[in-house]
Amino acid sequence: MGEIKTRITRRQFVGSTVAAAAFSIVPRHVLGQGQTPPSEKLRLAFIGSGGQAGFSMDNLASQEFVAFCDVDQQHAAGAYKKYPDVKRYKDFRKMLPEIEKQIDAVVVATPDHIHAVAAIAAMKLKKHVYCEKPLAHSIYEVRQMMKAAAENKVVTQMGNQGHSSESIRMFCEWIWDGACGKVHTIHAGCSAPNNAMGQLERIKEAQPVPAEVDWDLWLGPAQSRPYHQAYIRGRWRSWMPFGTGTIGDWTCHVIDPVFWALDLGAPVSVKADAEGYDPKLHADTFPRRTHMEFKFAGNGKRGPITLHWYSGYPSLPRPEGLEAERKVVDTGAIVIGDKGNIMYGSHGAGGVRIFPEAKMKAYKQPAKTLPRVRNGNHHQDWLAAIKNGTKAGSDFSYGGPLTEIALLGVIGTKLLGQELKWDGGNMRFTNNEEANGFVTPKFREGWAI
């Protein structure tokens, strides 16, 4: 398997895998190779049509695109040029009722703070939903998305592409085979500096709203504030009102393997520490570097586990037993058990290896017990689940609780140095009422879900 890939972009992960035909209902003998019969195609609408949406469009190109919705016409210009005949909208609240009978499913590829209002609006119309990660911007929104998916019996998928990979399944099988023994500690993180500490003075400058941006729609349920270019086109990830920082951007990729293999569930506590950051003074953004400690209780299948998360650090701490010449992963995880250790990169445990290498070479691979996703294609997993009436691998009932780990970390960032005890079943902190104030957002008038 070679050296672990420590950094990988979303497009690089499966960018070379373009969606193949999803269904096999109608005979194909009259079609050319690779063609999808029109009757088999899903009719799709996209809420958010620039940036990451382009990746989904590439992987769903075998389907029928009915409508694009974006509040930033420049950001969506690439999609508009590539698909000039697809209907265009700015406000999904107008789009969905107008095209309700013309679509089967919706792809949500917006900033985090729009995910819940857009996805729930689609699910209430009984439309299947593919939503980018993290699933939502707050724990309350996650729970509402999970509830809407269950009540409307739609097929959902969160966009953590590595969940459909071969490597995440192999990692699970190794853990279940006892390759590490009893896991007790995990170090995980991402070196990406998703913060805007250097922009806090700059956003006080008044800027005119560009003609191509509908700023009011861009804000959506977030509280009103003046426009600034520092917020838009990917930069929103670094701002608390719109994004979820490094932990929100990467937990659903990096923690996914251990969340699945170890059945982590909800942590019972979280504590965050950071230097040079005042949660009151710098409340609009995230620290440059943050260390968080999550504790998970034993669950009958395993003992208690402590998960350390590192945002913005150049690498994870060097573990005992890793050869001196080997690089420590900067985006990924180190899994420590009483009988062995594993290190992997991002997106579904990419480059997963037991260490030291002598143990890897001596390890006898277990049988493949988990079903594989064809070509490891996450979008095709969603399409196949729609066709078969089954669940996609990272549906909202899975992606929701995974996302909540990141969102608990965000709340920990707002209350540095305090151990916050979490009761996941009742969706509340048991020892801190201030923390409970961050569980449910304050929606702008007209945008409540």
pLDDT in tens, 277-291: 999 999 999 999 999
β 128-131/269-274 pair status = unpaired
Across the beta sheet with 64-69, the strand order is 87-89, 64-69, 43-47, 105-108, 128-131, 156-158
pLDDT bin (cut points 50, 70, 90) of residue 40 is confident
Q: Is residue 67 a part of any domain in this protein? A: yes
Q: Is residue 376 a part of any domain in this protein? A: no
Mean pLDDT for the stretch of residues 288-300: 97
pLDDT of residue 4: 54
194 and 104 part of one domain: no
Q: Which residues pair with 420 in a beta bridge?
A: 270
pLDDT bin (cut points 50, 70, 90) of residue 39 is low
222 and 78 part of one domain: no
Residue 131 has pLDDT above 60, yes or no: yes
Residue 13 has pLDDT above 90, yes or no: no
pLDDT of residue 18: 32
Burial class of 321 by CB neighbour count within 10 A (0 to 12, 13 to 18, 19+)? exposed
Which of 37, 33, 35, 11 is closest to 25 using CA atoms? 37
The DSSP symbol for 290 reads E
207 and 78 part of one domain: no
Mean pLDDT for the stretch of residues 320-345: 97
Mean pLDDT for the stretch of residues 303-328: 97
The span from the CA of 425 to the CA of 441, in Å, is 19
Q: What is the pLDDT of residues 234-248, one digit of tens each?
A: 999 999 999 999 999
Mean pLDDT for the stretch of residues 124-140: 98
pLDDT of residue 28: 35
310 and 391 part of one domain: no
pLDDT bin (cut points 50, 70, 90) of residue 32 is very low
For residue 155, what are the contacts with CB-CB under 8 A and spacing of at least 6?
105, 128, 382, 385, 386, 389, 390, 391, 392, 395
| Percentage of the chain exceeding pLDDT 90 | 90
298 and 191 part of one domain: yes
427 and 390 part of one domain: no
Q: Is residue 195 a part of any domain in this protein? A: yes
Which of 424, 391, 331, 382 is closest to 131 using CA atoms? 382
What CATH number is given to the structural domain containing 355?
3.30.360.10
β 420-423/128-131 pair status = unpaired
Q: What is the pLDDT of residues 207-220, one digit of tens each?
A: 999 999 999 999 99
The DSSP symbol for 357 reads H
Do the beta carbons of residue 376 and residue 165 sit within 8 Å? Answer: yes
Mean pLDDT for the stretch of residues 43-70: 98
Sequence length of the chain is: 449
Residue 305 has pLDDT above 90, yes or no: yes
Residue 292 has pLDDT above 70, yes or no: yes
- And the tokens for 301? 């299948």
Q: How many structural domains does the chain have?
A: 2
Q: Would the pTM of this model clear 0.95, i.e. be above it?
A: no
- And the tokens for 351? 């480059």
134 and 250 part of one domain: no
What CATH number is given to the structural domain containing 91?
3.40.50.720
Give the structural domain span for 298.
Answer: 165-371+401-436
34 and 113 part of one domain: yes
Q: Is residue 442 a part of any domain in this protein? A: no
Q: Is residue 361 a part of any domain in this protein? A: yes
The letter for the amino acid at 54 is: G
Q: Which of 33-37, 329-333, 415-419 has the lowest mean pLDDT?
A: 33-37
For residue 447, give the 3-state DSSP assignment: coil
Q: Is residue 206 a part of any domain in this protein? A: yes
The mean predicted confidence, pLDDT, of the chain is 92
pLDDT of residue 206: 85
272 and 314 part of one domain: yes
169 and 315 part of one domain: yes
DSSP codes joined into one string, 131-182: EPSSS-SSHHHHHHHHHHHHHHT--EEES-GGGGSHHHHHHHHHHHHTSSSS
Q: Is residue 377 a part of any domain in this protein? A: no
- And the tokens for 61? 């190109």
172 and 153 part of one domain: no
117 and 174 part of one domain: no
Q: What is the pLDDT of residues 258-272, one digit of tens each?
A: 999 999 999 999 999
Q: Is residue 14 a part of any domain in this protein? A: yes
Q: What is the pLDDT of residues 353-392, one digit of tens each?
A: 999 999 999 999 999 999 999 999 999 999 999 999 999 9
The span from the CA of 106 to the CA of 331, in Å, is 30
